[in-house]
């Protein structure tokens, strides 16, 4: 058995690509558009997984954008995506500067949660040992749910 991908439906492809690629740092590795099915699939990989993604088409995040508008609910029921990151403080700062709410700040220098434009919860985990607590994160309160 081999893990391939996780698929999430998105309501605004450009907003989702901005979040996952420009702010979170994933890379688009391939795209498929279906006129007949009226959808676009965009496959993303973490930079450290890009070579494996190219070779194996795994591990990836698949964004599915249906061209006909739909309302999606249940992002919290999905659970969450999780990514190991090199510098949790720098990434949270970039996300926040890009307008993303840090729902669970990295007070402990180890873990944070944010949400995608479609409400998908994304867990960020510091690579290796936790960083020393640092302001403004150390005293920042939770906001919303994750």
Residues annotated as catalytic are 123
- Cβ-proximal residues to 136 (8 Å cutoff; 6+ apart), any chain: none
Is residue 90 within 8 Å of 69, Cβ to Cβ?
A: no
Q: Which two tokens stand for residue 91?
A: 């990434």
Distance (Å, rounded) from C-alpha 42 to C-alpha 31? 4
Distance (Å, rounded) from C-alpha 2 to C-alpha 77? 24
* Three-state DSSP class for residue 34: strand
Distance (Å, rounded) from C-alpha 114 to C-alpha 104? 7
């Amino acid at each position: 058995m081999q893990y391939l991908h996780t698929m999430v439906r998105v309501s605004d492809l450009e907003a989702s690509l901005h979040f996952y690629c420009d702010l979170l740092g994933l890379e688009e590795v391939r795209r498929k558009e279906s006129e007949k099915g009226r959808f676009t699939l965009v496959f993303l990989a973490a930079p450290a997984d890009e070579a494996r993604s190219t070779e194996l088409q795994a591990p990836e995040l698949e964004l599915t954008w249906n061209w006909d508008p739909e309302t999606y609910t249940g992002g919290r029921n999905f659970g969450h995506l999780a990514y190991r990151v090199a510098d949790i403080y720098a990434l949270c700062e970039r996300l926040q500067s890009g307008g993303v709410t840090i729902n669970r700040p990295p007070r402990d220098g180890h873990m944070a949660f944010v949400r995608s434009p479609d409400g998908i919860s994304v867990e960020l985990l510091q690579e290796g040992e936790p960083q020393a607590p640092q302001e403004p994160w150390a005293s920042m309160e939770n906001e919303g749910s994750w």
